[in-house]
Amino acid sequence: IAGITQAPTSQILAAGRRMTLRCTQDMRHNAMYWYRQDLGLGLRLIHYSNTAGTTGKGEVPDGYSVSRANTDDFPLTLASAVPSQTSVYFCASSEGEGSYNEQFFGPGTRLTVL
């Protein structure tokens, strides 16, 4: 693995179903993030983690949960999917939360909730 991987690449999901989007990084970065990207809108932060064992809420956390059991993995769970959660989801990581640290992005998961 080099960088950040996400799975699945795309998914069609029935409303009400539970879904976990996976994200793994091999750069030993401390901070990880989940964004959603919708047409006409900027990337919006869902949840973040500044270090393993800690998580925080972003701008649009409702309906989503995360965990950070170790440095490499940061899964995002939709407990009961709704059509408004149809979006492209990007996982990102950075060395830390410091000012300069750029974020590196995974390839994204395209999720459709019907």
Binding residues (CB under 8 A) for another protein: these are: 40-45, 48, 58, 90, 97-100, 102-108
3-state helix, strand, coil in the chain (%, to 5): 5, 45, 50
Q: Which is nearer to another protein, 18 or 99 (CB)?
A: 99
Rg (CA), the chain: 13
Q: Is 65 helix (H, G, I), strand (E, B) or coil?
A: strand
Which letter does DSSP use for residue 83 in this model?
Answer: G
Q: What are the φ and ψ backbone dihedral angles of 85, each rounded to 5 degrees?
A: -90, 5
Q: Which is nearer to another protein, 35 or 79 (CB)?
A: 35
Q: Which is nearer to another protein, 58 or 63 (CB)?
A: 58
**What's the closest the beta carbon of residue 62 comes to another protein, in angstroms?**
17
Q: Which is nearer to another protein, 15 or 59 (CB)?
A: 59
Spatial distance between the Cα atoms of 34 and 74, rounded to a whole number of angstroms: 9
**What's the closest the beta carbon of residue 11 comes to another protein, in angstroms?**
16
**What's the closest the beta carbon of residue 16 comes to another protein, in angstroms?**
28
Strand 56-57, strand 76-78: pairing: unpaired
**What's the closest the beta carbon of residue 43 comes to another protein, in angstroms?**
4
